[in-house]
Chain A
Amino acid sequence: MADEALFQFLHSEIIQYVKGVESGESVRAWDTRETENGRCVSKLENMGFRVGQGLIERFTKDTPRFKDELDVMKFICKDFWTSVFKKQIDNLRTNHQGIYVLQDNKFRLLTQLSAGKQHLEHAPKFLAFTCGLVRGALSNLGVKSIVTAEVSVMPACKFQVMIQKM
């Protein structure tokens, strides 16, 4: 059980550090809180992207090849999510036209933050790394996508994956 906490602590520290670096760098008068936040989120997302690429290589080493996109998404929801967060995605919805919504009712990285609507404005930073993780995993499996996350009541959150057709 201890190894779960390790990643959560590291994750919170990464977010604190990136926020610190960004506020340190933004000495310009016209930098608003939003652009700072935006840059934090991009940095975290890019970190998640690279980690996702490496992780997926390790996880798919022994699995047979995937049949199609839906198979890839199911793999992300079940095996990938279980390996990283020790649980599966609770709900996967799709419109069969390239948009998938992954719903996690008890997202591990948000459980420690709050149990309702408190601190909602800080939630996007906590989801950025995971968005990047999913985007990196998908990109290495040959699926170009954009991943965004939204949260209304913690710790439940939804990840929206938009597949980009080349």
Chain B
Amino acid sequence: MAVCIAVIAKENYPLYIRSVPTQGELKFHYTVHTSLDVVEEKISGVGKALADQRELYLGLLYPTEDYKVYGYVTNSKVKFVIVVDSSNTSLRDNEIRSMFRKLHNSFTDVMCNPFYNPGDQIQSKAFDSIVSAMMVQAC
């Protein structure tokens, strides 16, 4: 279950950012912003194995004491960032991958919507519901 989910355009501004409201939203905005550096580093990684470079899923970007940050980049250079709680150690790599898959599918649907202009904030209800399903239920 994610604590914060963000979609970032290829010009590195957020298209969609949503976090669990109980905790400081600004802190998550900052975390996502700093994780962009790590994403850039991974995308342009020179000297890494070719297999790594061809994958869309970037894996664990960096862990902090409270939470872990995962990244995924699409072929159109749109980045997805998911922040999960560190205490939730039962979350396996496969589950994170499937979360990114669902996000990517939903994002593709948003892109194909003729009323959506690429570069705008994402306001699709369908996308919202997919993201809510993945977020921690705020009690």
* A binding-site residues for B, Cβ under 8 Å: 50, 53-58, 60-61, 63-67, 140-142
Contacts and interface: CB of A to CB of B under 8 A. Distances in A.
A60 B112 contact: no
Interface of B: 10, 53-56, 73-77, 104-105, 107-108, 111-112, 114, 118
A112 to B, nearest CB: 26
Given A60-B74, A61-B74, 18 more contacts: A50-B118, A53-B111, A54-B111, A54-B112, A54-B114, A56-B76, A57-B108, A58-B112, A60-B75, A61-B105, A65-B53, A65-B55, A65-B56, A65-B75, A67-B53, A67-B54, A141-B76, A142-B77
Nearest to B107: A57
A53 to B, nearest CB: 5
B74 A57 contact: yes
A57 B75 CA distance: 8
A60 B76 contact: yes
B104 A61 contact: yes
A57 B111 contact: yes
A67 B43 CA distance: 11
Contacts of B53: 65, 67
Contacts of A56: 75-76
A54 B111 CA distance: 5
- Specify which of B55, B73, B111 lies most central, judged by the most chain A CB atoms within 10 Å of its CB: B111
A88 to B, nearest CB: 20
Contacts of A50: 114, 118
Nearest to B43: A65
Nearest to B55: A64
A56 B75 CA distance: 9
Nearest to B111: A57
Nearest 4 pairs of A and B residues by beta carbon: A64-B54, A60-B75, A54-B112, A57-B111
A58 B114 CA distance: 14
Nearest to B117: A50
A142 B9 CA distance: 12
Contacts of B108: 57-58, 61
Contacts of B73: 65
9 contacts: A50-B118, A53-B111, A53-B118, A58-B111, A64-B54, A65-B56, A66-B75, A140-B76, A141-B76
